[in-house]
């Protein structure tokens, strides 16, 4: 394009200079000068149009060749429009936790990579998509480290207007449509860990499970429903080998090995199935001005009277101690439900949720467990938290200025109060109330530093009754 157009532009420039000189010397009169000048300018405008057309064709050729394109925060390889798109995804989160022990609670300061995920997602054809993501931190648990792994169809279904009510179908492992706190990913959460009742009452079977999920939405509402099995757990067990000693030690003695992969019996995946539905209503959901209401119900039928156990940490993952714990009890099935409220108004964010679980467990008088949390955030630098309407969750924060490029990034203060009660019927799991305060810094898109102080205000019942420990958690995170 440059080689073709350059000589033409150079010729026009030289001609105009020559005409100007001849006109000034009186060699050509005004009428002749104006006529030639108009002709030269018309040629130049025509050349500009031709050059633009050539540039457009070059761009189209590059797209068709699958030239890598760097999108904001993402690296994509694209084929011709409407065809194959391949994108790398991932996240790394590194935590440091410092504990202030109290009562029966004794934990040591610790640090860990909270999440180290790699994956790919993309489009196979216009309406067909896929996603696969694995957490390398859980590589020793085999298939349990698999997060999202599904095929997705987005488009038209019979009887539904594809413009007014587009439909999303996922087959494979994905989030069950339950709880704002569980569906909202760790990249966009207000605090380092999920609220106490969300983990205690919802995530014991994993927030992601294999199955079929259908989602559709209108101008101000969304609806999702799915049938799910149970996420497989396949721990890679170490092999323990011993050599005979004493009188048994002699030439030809052999090692005795146990607990290896070869002699670990296959696990019976008999946790049954679940049916889960969720609906949201957002009468307004413009940028910086959102009202979100939602509710979900999930029924899970256990096979062979499985054991059910509800418990959770003190909203800090760097300890294995659970202050509230129901212990194992037999259950035939259970029903979960929730109610959600979320408001975004300018720099202010409010998020609250109530959760309940009713177990059909006659041996312990069919207990019911409940919990709730309320949280709020405020951007000191004026940003507003984005909202994904179709999914009914938060989107990634983009700071209005970049640290290192003359700005200071986005700064946000957050707070949360949470409570859960795992005592009912013959189950004495205890009750816990927590309060948290945090500071989030987003120096650039896709990078976040967090500092959360969590305080246990009260524990009633159980092994840790009257313990009120606290912890400070620092997180460094990047995602793409």
User: Based on the domain organization, do 408 and 443 belong to the same domain?
Assistant: yes
User: Based on the domain organization, do 59 and 72 belong to the same domain?
Assistant: no
Better-scored residue on pLDDT, 37 or 3: 37
CATH assignment of the domain containing 296: 2.40.160.10
Supply the pLDDT for residue 193: 97
Q: What is the pLDDT of residues 169-183, one digit of tens each?
A: 999 999 999 999 999
Q: What is the pLDDT of residues 394-418, one digit of tens each?
A: 999 999 999 999 999 999 999 999 9
d(CA 166, CA 259): 50
User: Please, which residues have CB within 8 angstroms of residue 387's CB and are 6 or more apart in sequence?
Assistant: 282, 285, 290, 292, 344, 393, 394, 395
Q: The whole model's pTM is what?
A: 0.77
User: Based on the domain organization, do 34 and 101 belong to the same domain?
Assistant: no
User: Based on the domain organization, do 180 and 52 belong to the same domain?
Assistant: no
Supply the pLDDT for residue 20: 73
Better-scored residue on pLDDT, 92 or 83: 92
User: Based on the domain organization, do 46 and 193 belong to the same domain?
Assistant: no
Supply the pLDDT for residue 71: 55
Q: In the predicted model, what is the mean pLDDT of the chain? A: 84
Beta-strand (E) ranges in 361-426?
368-379, 387-388, 393-394, 410-424
- Tokens 């313990």 correspond to 467
* Nearest Cα residue to 280 out of 261, 294, 259: 294
Q: Is the pLDDT of residue 188 over 60?
A: yes
d(CA 453, CA 297): 32
User: Please, which residues have CB within 8 angstroms of residue 165's CB and are 6 or more apart in sequence?
Assistant: 216, 217, 218
Supply the pLDDT for residue 252: 56
**What residues make up the domain containing 38?**
2-64
Q: What is the pLDDT of residues 348-393, one digit of tens each?
A: 999 999 999 999 999 999 999 999 999 999 999 999 999 999 999 9
d(CA 435, CA 441): 20
Asked which of 64, 84, 114 is the last residue of a domain, the reply is 64
User: Based on the domain organization, do 43 and 122 belong to the same domain?
Assistant: no
Supply the pLDDT for residue 251: 58
Q: Confidence band (pLDDT; 50, 70, 90) for 420? A: very high
Distances in whole angstroms, Cα of residue 187 to Cα of each of 59, 143, 243, 397, 405 = 34, 23, 49, 9, 23
User: Based on the domain organization, do 319 and 241 belong to the same domain?
Assistant: yes
Asked which of 28, 47, 64 is the last residue of a domain, the reply is 64
Supply the pLDDT for residue 45: 55
Contact 318, 302 (CB under 8 A): no
Asked which of 19, 40, 64 is the last residue of a domain, the reply is 64
User: Based on the domain organization, do 49 and 103 belong to the same domain?
Assistant: no
* Nearest Cα residue to 207 out of 228, 236, 223: 228
User: Based on the domain organization, do 44 and 91 belong to the same domain?
Assistant: no
User: Based on the domain organization, do 188 and 52 belong to the same domain?
Assistant: no
User: Based on the domain organization, do 84 and 41 belong to the same domain?
Assistant: no
d(CA 449, CA 479): 12
Q: Is the pLDDT of residue 473 over 70?
A: yes
Total number of domains constituting the chain: 2
**Token representation of residue 60:** 């189209």
User: Based on the domain organization, do 319 and 174 belong to the same domain?
Assistant: yes
Mean pLDDT calculated for residue range 206-216: 92
d(CA 82, CA 124): 9
d(CA 274, CA 225): 11
Q: Is the pLDDT of residue 76 over 80?
A: no
Better-scored residue on pLDDT, 6 or 281: 281
């Amino acid at each position: 394009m440059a080689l073709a157009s350059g000589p033409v532009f150079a010729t026009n420039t030289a001609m105009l200079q020559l005409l100007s000189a001849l006109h000034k010397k009186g060699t050509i009169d005004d009428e002749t000068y104006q006529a030639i000048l108009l002709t030269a300018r018309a040629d130049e405008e025509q050349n500009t149009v031709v050059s633009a057309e050539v540039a457009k064709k070059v761009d189209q050729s590059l797209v068709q060749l699958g030239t890598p394109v760097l999108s904001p925060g993402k690296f994509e390889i694209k084929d011709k429009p409407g065809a194959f798109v391949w994108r790398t995804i991932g996240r790394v989160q590194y935590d440091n936790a410092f504990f202030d022990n109290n009562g029966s609670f004794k934990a040591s300061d610790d640090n860990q990579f909270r999440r180290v995920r790699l994956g790919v997602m993309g489009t196979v054809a216009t309406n067909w998509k896929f996603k696969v993501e694995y957490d390398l931190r859980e590589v020793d648990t085999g298939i349990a480290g698999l997060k999202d792994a599904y095929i997705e169809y987005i488009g038209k279904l019979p009887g539904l207007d594809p413009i007014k009510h587009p439909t999303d179908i996922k087959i494979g492992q994905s989030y069950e449509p339950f709880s704002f706190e569980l569906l909202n990913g760790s990249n966009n959460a207000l605090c380092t860990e999920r609220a106490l009742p969300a983990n205690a009452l919802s995530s014991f079977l994993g927030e992601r499970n294999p199955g079929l999920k259908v989602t559709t939405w209108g101008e101000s509402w969304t609806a999702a429903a799915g049938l799910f099995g149970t996420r497989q757990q396949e721990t890679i067990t170490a092999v323990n080998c011993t050599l005979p000693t004493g009188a048994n030690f002699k030439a030809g003695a052999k090692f005795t090995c146990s607990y290896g992969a070869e002699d670990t019996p296959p696990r019976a995946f008999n946790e049954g199935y679940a049916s889960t539905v969720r609906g949201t209503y957002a009468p307004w959901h413009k940028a910086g001005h959102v009202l979100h209401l939602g509710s979900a119900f999930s029924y899970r039928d256990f096979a062979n009277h499985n054991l059910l156990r509800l418990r959770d940490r003190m909203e800090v993952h760097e300890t294995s101690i659970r202050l509230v714990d129901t212990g194992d009890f037999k259950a035939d099935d259970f029903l979960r439900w929730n109610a959600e409220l979320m408001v975004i108004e300018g720099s202010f964010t409010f998020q609250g949720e109530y959760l309940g679980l009713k177990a059909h467990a006659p041996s312990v008088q069919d207990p019911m467990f409940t919990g709730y949390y309320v949280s709020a955030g405020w951007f000191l630098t004026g940003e507003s938290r984005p909202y994904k309407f179709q999914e009914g969750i938060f989107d990634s924060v983009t700071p209005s200025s970049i640290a290192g490029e003359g700005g200071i990034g986005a700064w946000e203060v957050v707070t949360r109060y949470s409570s859960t009660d795992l005592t009912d019927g013959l189950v004495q799991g205890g009750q816990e109330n927590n309060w948290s305060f945090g500071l989030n810094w987003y120096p650039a898109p896709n990078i976040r530093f967090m500092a959360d102080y969590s305080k246990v205000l009260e524990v009633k019942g159980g092994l840790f009754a009257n313990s009120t420990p606290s912890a400070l958690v620092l997180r460094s995170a990047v995602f793409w």
